């Protein structure tokens, strides 16, 4: 059989180091310019000194393998130290235990696996376990449900505050409910759910209660220490049985570092996977990954020790002040409004003017070197811009507010593009969605799919408008096809 020439095949002869490094450097040219401080998502940037230290620490432990903490006791110590610091900040008593994971998603998957296996053991009559989450809970819970065969029951949130409504949660509880999830805070609107009420409800009914503090776990404790109002959200709340908190978000650690904390060892037992029935080495994994680099542990350990509690308090004060400035600035722009009242430095901004399309603002900002995420509409929230205001963004907020005014003036001048799109127009496509159908649609929408760059056009307004109008199931079909196309080589 003739093998087609693949432009991505490994070179026959190895290349010199300098050439490889310069190729890698060149590849970064189209990435979001995070070092400018104008990227309000994805990257959580400490000071350069901390970043360099963390990189050194990460590199020092890059080769060590977390597969077996008895072979690398230094990794065991790093992990126990990190969990010790996390539980100290998050109200954990001496019984609370935990593990470092690769990210918030892995921590959440483990929380759901623990709940599923706990009830399988304790209440085997539950055959179809259910998890109650708000519409504002992170998508990782849906992923966990999908991977683990646990039904995810979604409840609406209050349309003004975007917080969970305990009454709706109560109504959603069934004999199959194994866990109630609250966010501290939710990503989309930055608000903390009423954890005390949720946890009390869970405890009274013998249900587990997980608090997702992936984004707030290393922010809210310092916010409290800095004197801001923080409603109880952690293990100090009776009934909270597990928490997720990410070192690699507002802990400013290099990515690959989150943690799952469990109320005690009796519960954590159900998180662990052991296998000695195959013919190789015995497997005992407390997390999803088996072989794993020690880099994230050392990087996070170095970062937390270098910044220290006083350093985090200072960062949080700066972020809180910048967030306040941002919220007040938006209040002065009649065409925009902040959704809800953020408890931390996450701000959702919606349009109040039919002529101002929020997706057009994001495109306009991208062309000027900024990066602002967009959030599609859901049944509880309008489409919005999302700002995660991290340490590096603080000084740029006044400029951002000025630019919002400029872009709004420009958009008001422009004739708004005709948005006559009716989702029903795509119905025949969904009946027969496959790679070819998607490629045709992608072509019409200006997606190159040439394997270079992101495959997306510079203007995403039209694509976002279409996605925004589609029901979530249809969005998911398109997004899956898009990703399936994006990771294709040699085509």
Residue whose C-beta lies closest to ligand PLP: 104
Closer by beta carbon to ligand PLP, 113 or else 138: 138
Q: In what order do the strands lie in the sheet containing 336-338? A: 336-338, 346-351, 384-388, 373-375
Q: Are 229 and 198 in contact (CB under 8 A)?
A: no
The distance of closest approach from Cβ of residue 103 to ligand PLP in the complex, given in angstroms and rounded to an integer, is 3
Q: Are 334 and 114 in contact (CB under 8 A)?
A: no
Closer by beta carbon to ligand PLP, 105 or else 351: 105
The distance of closest approach from Cβ of residue 371 to ligand PLP in the complex, given in angstroms and rounded to an integer, is 15
Q: Are 343 and 230 in contact (CB under 8 A)?
A: yes
Nearest to 340 by CA among 227, 185, 468: 185
Closer by beta carbon to ligand PLP, 140 or else 253: 140
Closer by beta carbon to ligand PLP, 165 or else 246: 246
Closer by beta carbon to ligand PLP, 130 or else 193: 193
- Alpha-carbon distance of 215 to 103, in angstroms, equals 11
The distance of closest approach from Cβ of residue 258 to ligand PLP in the complex, given in angstroms and rounded to an integer, is 6
The distance of closest approach from Cβ of residue 106 to ligand PLP in the complex, given in angstroms and rounded to an integer, is 7
The length of the chain is 491
The distance of closest approach from Cβ of residue 187 to ligand PLP in the complex, given in angstroms and rounded to an integer, is 3
The distance of closest approach from Cβ of residue 249 to ligand PLP in the complex, given in angstroms and rounded to an integer, is 7
Closer by beta carbon to ligand PLP, 50 or else 183: 183
Dump the DSSP string for 395-435: GGHHHHHHHHHHHHHHHHHSPPPP----GGGGHHHHHT-SH
Neighbours of 415 (CB within 10 A): 6
The distance of closest approach from Cβ of residue 215 to ligand PLP in the complex, given in angstroms and rounded to an integer, is 4
Residue 41 token pair: 């998502």
Neighbours of 48 (CB within 10 A): 9
DSSP H/E element including 113: helix 104-122
The distance of closest approach from Cβ of residue 300 to ligand PLP in the complex, given in angstroms and rounded to an integer, is 13
Closer by beta carbon to ligand PLP, 256 or else 294: 256
- Alpha-carbon distance of 426 to 430, in angstroms, equals 7
- Residues in touch with ligand PLP (CB under 6 A): 103-105, 138, 140, 183, 187, 212, 214-215, 246, 258
DSSP H/E element including 336: strand 336-338
Nearest to 15 by CA among 3, 6, 24, 26: 24
- Alpha-carbon distance of 384 to 219, in angstroms, equals 23
Closer by beta carbon to ligand PLP, 244 or else 474: 244
Closer by beta carbon to ligand PLP, 247 or else 482: 247
- Alpha-carbon distance of 65 to 61, in angstroms, equals 9
The distance of closest approach from Cβ of residue 73 to ligand PLP in the complex, given in angstroms and rounded to an integer, is 27
The distance of closest approach from Cβ of residue 349 to ligand PLP in the complex, given in angstroms and rounded to an integer, is 17
Distance of CA 30 to the CA centre of its chain: 22
- Alpha-carbon distance of 286 to 100, in angstroms, equals 9
Q: What share of the chain is helix, strand, coil (3-state, %, to 5)?
A: 45, 15, 40
Closer by beta carbon to ligand PLP, 232 or else 449: 232
Nearest to 59 by CA among 295, 300, 302: 295
DSSP H/E element including 180: strand 177-183
Closer by beta carbon to ligand PLP, 193 or else 335: 193
The distance of closest approach from Cβ of residue 407 to ligand PLP in the complex, given in angstroms and rounded to an integer, is 26
- Alpha-carbon distance of 129 to 309, in angstroms, equals 40
């Amino acid at each position: 059989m003739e093998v087609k020439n693949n432009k991505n095949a490994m070179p026959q002869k190895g290349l010199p180091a300098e050439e490889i490094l310069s190729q890698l450097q060149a590849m970064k040219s189209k990435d979001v310019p995070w070092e400018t401080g104008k990227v309000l998502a994805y990257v959580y940037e400490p000071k350069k000194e901390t970043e360099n230290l963390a990189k050194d620490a990460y590199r020092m432990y890059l080769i060590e393998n977390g597969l077996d903490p008895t072979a690398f006791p230094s990794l065991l110590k790093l992990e126990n130290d990190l969990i010790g610091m996390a539980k100290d900040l998050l109200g954990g008593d001496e019984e609370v235990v935990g593990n470092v994971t690769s990210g918030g998603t892995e921590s959440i998957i483990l929380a759901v696996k623990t709940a599923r296996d706990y009830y399988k053991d304790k209440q085997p009559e539950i055959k179809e376990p259910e998890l109650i989450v708000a519409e504002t809970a992170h998508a990782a819970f849906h992923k966990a449900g999908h991977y683990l065969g646990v039904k995810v029951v979604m409840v609406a949130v209050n349309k003004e505050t975007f917080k969970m409504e305990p009454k709706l949660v109560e109504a959603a509880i069934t004999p199959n409910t194994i866990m109630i999830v609250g966010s501290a805070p939710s990503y989309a609107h930055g608000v903390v759910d009423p954890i005390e009420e949720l946890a009390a409800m869970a405890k009274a009914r013998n249900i587990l209660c997980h608090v997702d503090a992936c984004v707030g776990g290393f922010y809210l404790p310092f916010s409290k220490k800095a004197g801001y109002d923080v409603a109880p959200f952690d293990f100090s709340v009776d009934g909270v049985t597990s928490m997720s908190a990410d070192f690699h978000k507002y802990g400013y650690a290099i990515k690959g570092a989150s943690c799952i904390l469990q109320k005690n060892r009796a519960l954590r037992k159900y998180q662990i996977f052991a296998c000695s029935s195959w013919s190789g080495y015995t497997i005992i994994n407390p997390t999803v990954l088996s072989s794993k680099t020690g880099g994230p542990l050392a990087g996070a350990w170095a970062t937390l020790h270098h910044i220290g509690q006083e350093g985090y308090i200072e960062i949080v004060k700066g972020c809180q002040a910048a967030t306040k400035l941002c919220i007040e600035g938006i209040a002065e722009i009649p065409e925009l409004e902040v959704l809800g009242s953020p408890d931390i430095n996450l701000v959702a901004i919606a349009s109040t003017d039919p002529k101002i399309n929020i997706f057009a603002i994001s495109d306009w900002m991208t062309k000027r070197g900024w990066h602002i995420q967009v959030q599609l509409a859901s049944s509880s929230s309008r489409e919005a811009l999302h700002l995660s205001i991290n340490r590096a963004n603080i000084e740029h907020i006044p400029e951002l507010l000025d630019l919002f005014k400029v872009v709004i003036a420009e958009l008001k001048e422009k004739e708004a593009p005709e948005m006559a799109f009716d989702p029903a127009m795509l119905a025949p496509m969904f009946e027969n969605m496959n790679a070819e159908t998607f490629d045709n649609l992608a072509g019409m929408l200006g997606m190159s799919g040439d394997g270079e760059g992101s495959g997306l056009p510079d203007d995403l307004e039209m694509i976002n408008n279409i996605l925004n109008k589609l029901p979530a199931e249809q969005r998911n079909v398109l997004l899956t096809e898009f990703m399936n196309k994006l990771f294709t080589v040699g085509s």
